Structures are given as structure tokens and as C-alpha cells.
Structure 1
Amino acid sequence: MTIEQLAETTGLSKGFISRVERDQTSPSVSTLVALCDVLNVSVGDLFKRSEQICVRAEDAPRITLGGKDMHEVLMTPRSEKRLQMVRTVVEPGGHSGDAPYSVAVELDIVYLVRGRITMRFADAVWELGPGDSLTLDGREPHSWQVIGEDTAELIWVLMPTTWNANPTSG
């Protein structure tokens, strides 16, 4: 929203809004509430402190999402609701399981740190190497397997989190 649009919507002058934006003046509480209403921002959000939560690799909780010959850890706090990041280390020959699976998330991104994998879908097959990523709808049945004799390391980003969703066989 431009300053002009905000001024028109709130009935405040463009100059006043500009001074508030540049921290040259402070709005009254009623003006602040009006600005927040128009901008669809909670007044309380203006006073929230950002939160940083560090998950150390050595402290990351082990999780099991299925599959064979792999070690999976959760790299985001369990309290995080917006996204979930999982680090998976898979031994040569390891795979996602005997049948295709899906996860009840809208967005699933896999980034391959090292090794090689094949991702299989009903209508496509992708071979990924180090540095490659693949974005997919987690609800689409798929499977994957490590290719070759090297251990693979994958980073999965799932949005939203899977806390209330269970993988389903396809």
C-alpha cells in the first residue's frame, strides 16, 4: 500500500504518515490503532520481539518418517508451525520404502547435499545430484532411492508442518 493510499483510507495526511514511517513523530494510540486496522496488523505485533531458536546438529531430535537405511533428524523446533526442516542421511541402497508415499503438506522441497538419488512419480522420474533441489506437492505419491555406492544427505523442507498429518501409502 502506498503512502497516498494509506492517507486516503485513514484520513491522515501523507506528510504525517511519512514522518511516522521515518520515526520523526509518534502517532497517538487511536491513530496507531487506525493505521493497524487499515494495514491488517495487530497492534500487539508492533511490540513483539522476534524469537530466535537454535537447533544444534548434535541436539536435533531423531525422527522416523519411514524408509530403509537412513537416519533422520528434525532441524526446526517442534514448536515451529510454518515449516519443518528434516535432515536425512541415507546409506547406499537406502530408500523411502517399498511403496510410494505422500505427506499431507502443500509444499515439499528436497535439496541434495551429497550423493545421488532417483525420485519417482506416476508420470516422471528425476535423478538428483549434489546441489540439486526438487519442489513438489507432498500429497502426490512418490518414492526415492539412493543411487550408487555413496551415502546421500538430503534436506527436506515441508510446509506447513506435518504434525497433524501422517504419511500414507499409495
Structure 2
Amino acid sequence: MPASNPAQLSVISVIAASLQRERRRAGLSLAEVARRAGIAKSTLSQLESGTGNPSVETLWALCVTLDVPFAQLVEPPKPRVQVIRADEGPVFAAEHSDYIAKVLSACPPNARRDLYLITAQPGAPRASEPHRPGTVEHVVLSRGRALIGLTEEPVEVHPGDYIGYPADVPHIFKALEPDTAAVLVSEHV
């Protein structure tokens, strides 16, 4: 999404504030977080100043480094009743595949899950590096067909199928049909 989009600018400002808050909470310098996450210090500086436009991979690396759930970095505070229309919500695209993750619900305090709407197109799979230890992903496919699960042994799933797998090891989501869609719950321990 272009940074000129007002909704994206809002998400970027939320990410900037969240990164600053979580880096300070962890007691780490900008340089140390960038080093541990495997990103350039200038990239992290831009993100914290609200001028960057991060990929989902960059945000995941920062989440692992800061030991926070993905949605905690990207969701602004919200009212108790929340409706996200199909064309709304913070959206993040993968760098190397046609894969989009939209945060539907961040994990509230003392709970351990985040909820996403995934849309993907055939082509390169969304190859995910291991998330925080103990993370499990649950996926229900709503449209299309996909190979989902552990990188070494993905399973073909169809609309209505459910798959759960450990996400603290390499895993993939590969759309086999155009406009494949799924709901993904990321469960943290």
C-alpha cells in the first residue's frame, strides 16, 4: 500500500509508537534491535520515526527480537466493540510472494492469540521463518486451495478445512488458486 494512503499513514504511526515503546520496554538500543532483527539501523530508525513502510517479514523479525505478538505492533487502541469491514483494517504485504495479512484482532492483555484474514495468489509461497517459541497457527480456508503447514510437509487444504501446526519452525502458505482466502489464528504461549 502506498504511504500516501491515509489509513496506511495511521498504521505506520501506530507501528512507530509501538516500536519505540517496546524497544524501551526491552531496554535495547536502536542499533541492538536492528542487529538482532537482521535489518539496517536506518530502516528501524525510519520505522520509529513513522517514515518507513515495512514488509511483513521486517515486522515479524522485530516481533521476534522484541518478544511481542505481531498485532501488538500494528493495532491502535480500540473500543470494546469493534467491526472491521472487508475493505478496512491494517494490511501488510509479503516481499517475495503475493500474500497479504490483515490484522483483524490483536491479542488483548492476558490472552495469547492474534486473528488475521489472509488473501493470497498463486506463485511464490509465503515462506515464514520460525516465530516465538511455542507459537501455533490455526488456519481455516474459506476460498480457493492452498498448501499450508510445515515447510517440509505442507498439506493441501480446501474451503472449510482446518489445519493447525507449530509456527516456531519454518512454515509456508502457498495459494494454489487465484484469490485464495483464509482466517489465521496465531496462538502464543
Relative to the length of structure 1, the TM-score reads: 0.53
Instruction: Quote how far apart the aligned CAs of 1:90 are.
Output: 0.7
Letter in 1 for 2:136: L
Aligned residues: 108
Query: Residue 154 of structure 1 aligns with which residue?
Result: 182
Structure 1: segments with no counterpart, 5+ residues:
1-50, 162-170
Greater C-alpha Rg: 1
SS at match of 1:150: coil
Q: CA RMSD in A?
A: 2.8
The superposition leaves residues 74-96 of structure 1 with CA deviations (integer Å, 9 ceiling, x where unpaired) of 1114x634321111111122421
**Which structure shows the higher strand fraction?**
1
Q: Percent identical across equivalent pairs?
A: 18
Alignment of 1:21-170 (within 5 A): 51-64=80-93, 67-77=96-106, 80-81=108-109, 82=111, 83-97=113-127, 101-104=129-132, 106-121=135-150, 124-147=153-176, 149-160=177-188
Structure 2: segments with no counterpart, 5+ residues:
1-79
Q: How far apart, in 2, do the equivalents of 1:143 and 1:62 lie?
A: 19
Residues 155, 72 of structure 1: alpha-carbon distance in 2 compared, 3 angstrom cutoff: same
Q: How far apart, in 2, do the equivalents of 1:57 and 1:74 lie?
A: 12
Q: How far apart, in 1, do the equivalents of 2:182 and 2:98 lie?
A: 13
SS at match of 2:87: helix
Residues 156, 65 of structure 1: alpha-carbon distance in 2 compared, 3 angstrom cutoff: farther
Structure 1 stretches (4+) deviating beyond 3 angstroms? 64-67
Letter in 1 for 2:81: Q
Select the structure with the greater relative contact order (CA < 8 A; seq sep ≥ 6). Answer: 1
SS at match of 1:154: strand
Q: How far apart, in 1, do the equivalents of 2:140 and 2:96 lie?
A: 17
